[in-house]
Amino acid sequence: MSRHLLSRKLQNMSESATIKMAQKARELKAKGIDVISLSLGEPDFDTPDFIKDAAIQALKDGYTKYTPVPGLPVLKEAIAQKLKRDNGLDHELNEIMVSNGAKQCIANICLSLLDEDDEVIIFTPYWVSYFEIVKFCGGKPVPLYAGIDQDFKVRPEQLEDVINEHTKLIIFSSPSNPTGSLYSKEELEALSQVILNHDNLFVLADEIYEYINFIGKTASIGAVSGMKERTLTVNGMSKGFAMTGWRLGYVAGPSWIIDSCAKVQGQFTSGANAFGQVAAAHALRAPLDETFAMRDEFKKRRDLVKNALDQIDGLNTNNPEGAFYFFPEISSFFGRSNGKRVIHDADEFVDVLLDEANVAVVTGTAFGDPNSFRLSYAASEEQLESATERMQNVLGSYK
Ligand code: PMP
Ligand code: GLU
């Protein structure tokens, strides 16, 4: 009895590289090694107190039971208002659903829409889980690569070239994990022109980093004329409100797809936790002062890390406009040696950083780009200063 008895689907699924690296860093720390982990995309801030207080009050008020599978009406109303206020999206309550994190929204959508042979275009570099969720749901992931020379953003003509009669869904995040790039309204309009020329083609727009942007405002593809019927707008509480552990995300889209997601969720999890939903409604309704204070901290850190990375010969970085990641291009390191060890590829590059600098980052391979690595700057300024200094020292020894 062993692994070969596991389902083929499961055997084909890779472990989440971000979670795996974060775990490795935790284990090294537990052994007493002074590892700085810049591997996980998780705000290091705590959830604002007013949200915690709302959850405690909700528990006391008896929100301890199952909720309707697609979510409590009070939260769906808050989401509808938020989508109107921030995104120019008009959604009825039956077009909104709450799940255990944005991750489960994405899984519900893929389980609802994909059959064998359905192709899913994934803008690449992509967030690790898109690829594996699509595969697990039976779809065929089709990575569409945009490199640093185009700020990691797919151009309309590239998109047109890969769409065929099997294409059912397009997935991307903006602001992007892992590149921090962000599509402007005009860029989304241009992509929409391509999408609207093809029947039965949907978009999963992952906007979970919406509030962590350094340009003031992001745009939503679902708000482009004609795109509402085609778009599933995914968002959640994890990043903007520092609520990763609460496991609360939501999606808005056509009611017939939302109904199907609810059917899946009714069988798999019954829905998200009750008292957290009440607290999330408070968070979405309140002024965003604490969210923006966290965003301002992230911007300071972005500038600090950009400055430090620019001083490392051979790293090529963009200037990310959102999220909390850098995704430097590192191919000029391939073949370099410190006299004892040679860096051949991105996997070895991140091993060198872990072994010699005690800095944990994630290989670009996991994000569909073998020439890069991802650094999460959701860490204190002190940790970031120390980590980038260690990186400079170690990488400087590879000639
Ligand atoms: N989308 C992206 C792009 C992410 O980086 C993450 C990070 N966890 C998620 C979705 C999932 O978020 P959640 O915690 O809401 O499941
Ligand atoms: N989204 C975060 C990341 O990319 C959290 C880990 C995960 O969910 O994969 O690191």
**Ordered alpha helix ranges (H), the chain:** 8-11, 17-30, 49-60, 73-87, 102-113, 128-136, 156-162, 185-196, 255-268, 274-285, 289-310, 346-357, 381-396
Band of residue 111 on the pLDDT scale cut at 50, 70, 90? very high
The strand pair at 167-173 and 202-206 is best described as: parallel
Residue 4 has a pLDDT of: 86
Residue 262 has a pLDDT of: 98
Residue 69 has a pLDDT of: 98
Tokens of 214: 């350094």
215: left (phi over 0), alpha (psi -120 to 50) or beta: alpha
Give the domain ranges of the chain.
Answer: 3-46+290-395, 65-285
Return the C-alpha torsion angle 46, 49, 51, 55, nearest 10.
100
Q: Using CA positions, which residue lies closest to atom 3 of ligand 2?
A: 41
Q: Using CA positions, which residue lies closest to atom 10 of ligand 2?
A: 41
Indicate if ligand 1 lies below 6 Å from the C-beta of 206. Answer: yes
CA distance 345 to 342: 9
Indicate if ligand 2 lies below 6 Å from the C-beta of 41. Answer: yes
Indicate if ligand 2 lies below 6 Å from the C-beta of 179. Answer: no
Centre a 10 Å sphere on the Cβ of residue 246 and count the other Cβ atoms it contains.
Answer: 25
Indicate if the pLDDT at residue 12 is higher than 90. Answer: no
Q: Which of 40, 177, 239 to mutate to test the pocket of ligand 2 (most atoms within 8 A of CB)?
A: 40
CA distance 266 to 243: 24
pLDDT tens digits for range 335-366 = 999 999 999 999 999 999 999 999 999 999 99
The arithmetic mean of pLDDT across residues 94-106, rounded, is: 98
Q: Using CA positions, which residue lies closest to atom 4 of ligand 2?
A: 41
Q: Which of 100, 103, 110 to mutate to test the pocket of ligand 1 (most atoms within 8 A of CB)?
A: 103
Domain 3-46+290-395 matches domain 65-285 at the CATH topology level:
no
Band of residue 391 on the pLDDT scale cut at 50, 70, 90? very high
Centre a 10 Å sphere on the Cβ of residue 94 and count the other Cβ atoms it contains.
Answer: 13
User: CB-based burial of residue 61 (10 Å sphere; 0-12 exposed, 13-18 middle, 19+ buried)?
Assistant: exposed
Indicate if the pLDDT at residue 15 is higher than 90. Answer: no
Tokens of 335: 């073949």
The arithmetic mean of pLDDT across residues 59-77, rounded, is: 98
Specify whether the CB–CB gap between 28 and 151 falls below 8 A: no
CA distance 334 to 175: 29
Ligand located closest to 323 CA = 1
Residue 172 has a pLDDT of: 98
Residue 206 has a pLDDT of: 98
Closest CA to 202 of 234, 228, 229, 230: 230
Class of domain 3-46+290-395: alpha beta
Indicate if ligand 2 lies below 6 Å from the C-beta of 190. Answer: no
Residue 2 has a pLDDT of: 85
What's CA 119's distance to the chain center, in Å?
21
Residue 223 has a pLDDT of: 98
Ligand 1 centroid distance, CA of 90 (Å): 23
Ligand located closest to 172 CA = 1
CA distance 235 to 371: 29
Q: Considering the entire predicted model, what is its pTM?
A: 0.97
Three-point CA angle 103, 293, 180, nearest 5°: 45
The arithmetic mean of pLDDT across residues 10-30, rounded, is: 88
Indicate if ligand 1 lies below 6 Å from the C-beta of 43. Answer: no
pLDDT tens digits for range 136-184 = 999 999 999 999 999 999 999 999 999 999 999 999 999 999 999 999 9
Band of residue 19 on the pLDDT scale cut at 50, 70, 90? confident
Q: Out of 3.40.50.300, 3.50.50.60, 3.40.640.10, 3.40.47.40, select the CATH number for domain 65-285.
A: 3.40.640.10
Three-point CA angle 321, 322, 327, nearest 5°: 85
pLDDT tens digits for range 182-226 = 999 999 999 999 999 999 999 999 999 999 999 998 999 999 999
Ligand 2 centroid distance, CA of 19 (Å): 7
